[in-house]
Amino acid sequence: MPSIAHTRITKIAVDRLGPGDMIRDTDLSGFGVRRQQGPATYFLQKRIGARVRWITIGRHGSPWTPETARREAYRLLGQIAGGEAPTLKRQDLADKPTLKEAADRFMTEHGVRLKRTSHEKYQFLLDRYIVPELGDRLIGRIARPDVLKLHAGMAKTKSLANYAVSVLSRLMSWAEEHGLRPPQSNPCFKLKKFRENKRQRYLSNVEYERLGVVLARTAAIDRENFYIVAALYLLMLTGARVGEIRALLWRSVDLQRGLLILPDSKTGQKTIRLNPQAVEVLRTLPRIDGNPHVIIGRRPGEHLVNLQKPWRRIRKEAGLDDVHIHDLRHSFASVGAAAKGSLPMIGRLLGHNHQNTTARYAHLADDPVDDLNATIGATIAEAIGMPIADKKGAVD
């Protein structure tokens, strides 16, 4: 993944640059070096008048070394400070970049701050929807109607359309920060997004039984990779997210303490508690030499890439066509609520950072609360000599 470093630019550091990498010099503000696909290029980023310019100094190699490029950067800064506009190369004189050009820079500079899954989603939305629709437009000239057209064109996938606008909004804010758009000109600001209906799909005991039969049969006849079956068992038994199980590393597994210690989940570092059944699933999985992953894929050394396709086949056989794989996480929470687990307890098991996230499961606790309420009423009624009514209101 491309990276951006803040350190003194040296020859060793420049030689280590990979495609997309950038270094911003800590000794001279605005001086930097970046590498795209060819040799690294030295540059000076400086505001000239009302605009931020990226002034190209030259490619790494004779005559440009970190020392000669730094001296040239000092000379250019002296010109700018004296009110003299430096001689700019053609690429530096160009108007504001296109959205595609800005998006490439955005993912190079801002993308390194994103978690791996977020980075993949950003890149997917940019490549699949945003750049094809707006990529050839100048970043500074994209207006509200352009965003509305993009959003409306994705109406069939409402959640994806809303996420695309969020990504575009972050790109526009970044463009403002770097002088590529006027301040407070984000065309996505307060755009009315599609209303998303949160799924309320949970497996019943009968549906769990059907799914269990299909998984057992699948594992027995080896029709599916048994690592796929194990992954689905773990999703059901832990309430973990798909990516957390799919890319799980053995070094994150502590069977003795019954824990998965994930260094970089969606919500940051996270610990997942393993019940005895989940521990047993993990104990049955062989470790493959040269592959650090728990759920291995077809390629040597890699984890399983796609769990959705086999899941669609399995759920169809179980008569669960409307059940998404993420619903296994929701169902885990529903079982916890039915067992009279409190929302804070369920939130801890799911790894929620905010109570509001767990609150979506509040309605699942209605039946246990009603049971508790009925028990309290019966106890008090018995104590004071009142007739005891059943749940339907009939009096004994």
Paired tokens of 47: 């505001």
Residues 317-335: what's their mean pLDDT?
87
Answer yes or no: is 378 within a domain.
no
Same domain, 51 and 78: yes
Q: What would the mean pLDDT of 202-211 be, rounded to a whole number?
A: 88
Indicate whether 105 and 89 sit together in one domain: no
Residue 383 covered by a domain: no
Same domain, 63 and 134: no
Q: What is the largest CA-CA distance in the chain?
A: 100
The count of domains in the chain is: 3
Angle between helix 158-177 and helix 116-125 axes, rounded to 10 deg: 100
373 domain-assigned: no
Is position 386 within any domain? no
Average pLDDT over residues 363-368: 53
Residue 156 in 3-state DSSP? coil
How many Cβ atoms are within 10 Å of 304's Cβ, its own excluded? 22
Q: What is the CATH number of the domain that holds 155?
A: 1.10.150
What pLDDT score does 132 carry? 94
Whether residue 21 sits in one domain with residue 49: yes
Among 44, 75, 93, which residue terminates a domain? 93
Query: pLDDT at position 95, please?
Result: 44
9 and 144 part of one domain: no
CA–CA separation, 58 and 118 (whole Å): 34
Quote the strand ranges of the chain, DSSP E. Answer: 4-6, 22-24, 31-34, 41-48, 51-59, 253-254, 259-265, 268-273
* pLDDT number for residue 46: 84
User: 70, 31 in Cβ contact below 8 A?
Assistant: yes
Last residue of a domain, one of 42, 66, 93: 93
pLDDT value of position 223: 56
Alpha-carbon gap, residue 270 to 268, rounded angstroms: 6
**Between 254 and 391, whose confidence is greater?**
254
Do 140 and 232 have their domain in common? no
- The per-residue pLDDT of the chain, averaged, comes to 82
pLDDT in tens, 236-249: 888 888 889 998 99
- Please indicate, yes or no, whether residues 172 and 230 belong to a single structural domain of this protein: no
- % of the chain exceeding 70 in pLDDT: 79
> Does the pLDDT of residue 347 top 70, yes or no?
no
- Who contacts 350 (Cβ-Cβ below 8 Å, separation ≥6)? 239, 329, 332, 333, 358
Question: Does 268 lie in the same domain as 212?
Answer: yes
Read off the CATH number of the domain in which 24 is found.
Answer: 3.30.160
Q: Is residue 381 part of a domain?
A: no
Q: Do 227 and 106 share a domain, yes or no?
A: no
Confidence check: pLDDT of 70 > 80? yes
323 lies in the same domain as 238 = yes
Higher per-residue pLDDT: 379 or 327: 327
Instruction: Map residue 259 onto helix, strand or coil.
Output: strand
Domain co-membership, 51 together with 72: yes
CA distance 314 to 293: 23
Alpha-carbon distance of 36 to 50, in angstroms, equals 27
CATH at 247: 1.10.443.10
* DSSP helix, strand, coil percent of the chain (3-state; round to 5): 50, 15, 35
> Is 80 exceeded by the pLDDT of residue 386?
no
Q: Are 152 and 8 part of one and the same domain?
A: no
DSSP 338-395: HTT--HHHHHHHHT-SSHHHHGGGGGGGHHHHHHHHHHHHHHHHHHHTPPPB-TTS-B
Model confidence at 342: pLDDT above 80: no
- Is the pLDDT reported for residue 92 higher than 50? no
Distance separating alpha carbons of residues 368 and 380, to the nearest angstrom: 18
Instruction: State which residues form the domain around 166.
Output: 99-177
Q: Could you tell me what percent of the chain has a pLDDT over 90?
A: 36
In a domain, 192, yes or no: no
Domain boundary among 93, 121, 139: 93
Residue 188 maps to a domain: no
User: Residues 6 or more apart from 87 whose CB is under 8 A from it?
Assistant: none
CB 372 within 8 A of CB 340: yes
